[in-house]
Amino acid sequence: MSEDSFLFKDCINRKVIKELSLNIKSNYKYFDSNRFEKSILKDITPLSLTERLDKVTDFLYDFLPKKYEQSVSILLKSLPPELPNSSEQTEGSGAKTISTLNGMIMLSLTSFISRYGLEHFEQSTHALYEMTKRFSSEGAMRYFILQDQKKTMRLLLQWTDDKNMHVRRLCSETTRPRLPWAIQLKPFIKNPKPIFKILDQLYQDDEIYVRRSVANNLNDISKDNPELVINTLKKWMKKTKTLEMKWLTNHALRTLLKQGNSEALNLIGYSSNFKVKISNVEMPKARVKIGSKLNFEVNIHSLVNYDQDLMIDYIIHHQKANGSLTPKVFKWKKLKLKANENKSLKKDHSFKIITTRVYHPGDHQIQMQINGKQFKKFNFILTK
């Protein structure tokens, strides 16, 4: 399979299903491995990743013993070896390189736990504890929070001190209010304060794999409770002034920085009281074809006799299907503008066709944003 033709759903393939089947068969002699494999692989080609994962979960239930405790015991005995317990060996091992049980197929097993094991708290959470060492089980763990928040959060707090970094990361990932591709934790969207008991234990973790999750959790929280995130980071920054803390702060504030939140910008050293003059946005071509690039240039002139730190972004106001415009902020660069300096900046913005965005021809706008302040909008036309 070539790199270009790879689809995430292809992680659930004949090879992986066979491996899972043989593992279970070796721990449960009554397991009909041939029929299990044929049942899953039949008509699997058009199915999405989620549909394939659900199909595996469904047939695990059909082919394993109906007694939950026995089924979970078999699954635990059938797990693959643990992933490496270090960021260097783990990060970068994305789905494209995974064709074994340490990959997305594990989501079918964790889904089995959350679907059939909510009434078996101890055994189920122990299973997710073991499974997360093979492939993160935060999606399934969230259902236990929704069923019994206090009990599950107490357990996660205990796990923040675990020797395995995958378990520690699970404590943060599980509690993210808006974790992508997972059920939202609406109680934490409304009141995220219970999460901070866990994050307080993890933000100085030795592994960046864990600290990145903490930053992502804070970024989630910031979408609904920005002040709480800013105040927490201020508290942490007083306790530690390491490069790791600086990185975590920047990563945690990325949504607020794009929004031009002045408190967030001030926290990382970008003042809202900067003084510059900005020229018109120059575009050699005011008509840009979908699939090509918008070339533009802007001139920034310092109005003071001291250096200024500037975070320079730009906003493209895309036309929607109904003709209205919707803004999207694009990060550009961080710049130290010297006293009375005049700086010319050039940029090519791609309108290459991608699966995550639909372009509609018609009127568009571009707008500069510096340290959160938005400047004049300029029009251009996107054409087919």
Q: What's the confidence (pLDDT) of residue 102?
A: 74
pLDDT confidence bin for 97, thresholds 50/70/90: very low
pLDDT digits (tens, 9 = 90+) for 243-296: 999 999 999 999 999 999 999 999 999 999 999 999 999 999 989 999 999 999
pLDDT confidence bin for 91, thresholds 50/70/90: low
Average pLDDT rounded to a whole number, residues 294-322: 96
Range list of β-strands (E), 242-286: 276-278
Tokens of 107: 């989501």
> What does the domain layout of the chain look like in residue ranges?
8-267, 276-383
Q: What's the confidence (pLDDT) of residue 288?
A: 96
pLDDT confidence bin for 7, thresholds 50/70/90: confident
Q: What's the confidence (pLDDT) of residue 36?
A: 97
Distances (CA, A) of 183 to 138, 174, 303, 360: 10, 10, 50, 31
| Residue 74 burial by Cβ neighbours in a 10 Å radius (0-12, 13-18, 19+) | middle
Q: Are 75 and 112 contacting, i.e. CB atoms less than 8 angstroms apart? A: yes
DSSP state of 15: H
Q: What's the confidence (pLDDT) of residue 5?
A: 53
Q: Count CB neighbours of 249 within 10 A.
A: 21
* Whole-angstrom distance, CA of residue 384 vs CA of residue 372: 33
pLDDT digits (tens, 9 = 90+) for 123-155: 999 999 999 999 999 999 999 999 999 999 999
Class of the 8-267 domain? mainly alpha
In this structure, which amino acid lies at residue 36?
F
pLDDT digits (tens, 9 = 90+) for 347-359: 999 999 887 789 9
pTM above 0.85, yes or no: yes
pLDDT of 2 over the 70 cut? no
Enter the CATH code of domain 276-383: 2.60.40.10
Q: What's the confidence (pLDDT) of residue 98?
A: 43
pLDDT digits (tens, 9 = 90+) for 21-78: 999 999 999 999 999 999 999 999 999 999 999 999 999 999 999 999 999 999 999 9
Domains 8-267 and 276-383 alike in fold: no
Range list of β-strands (E), the chain: 276-278, 287-289, 293-302, 308-319, 325-337, 342-350, 362-370, 373-383
Ordered alpha helix ranges (H), 268-364: none
pLDDT confidence bin for 4, thresholds 50/70/90: very low
In the sheet that 373-383 helps form, which strands lie side by side, from edge to edge?
287-289, 373-383, 362-370, 308-319, 325-337
Q: What's the confidence (pLDDT) of residue 289?
A: 95
The CA-based diameter of the chain, rounded to the nearest angstrom, is 81
Q: What's the confidence (pLDDT) of residue 113?
A: 98
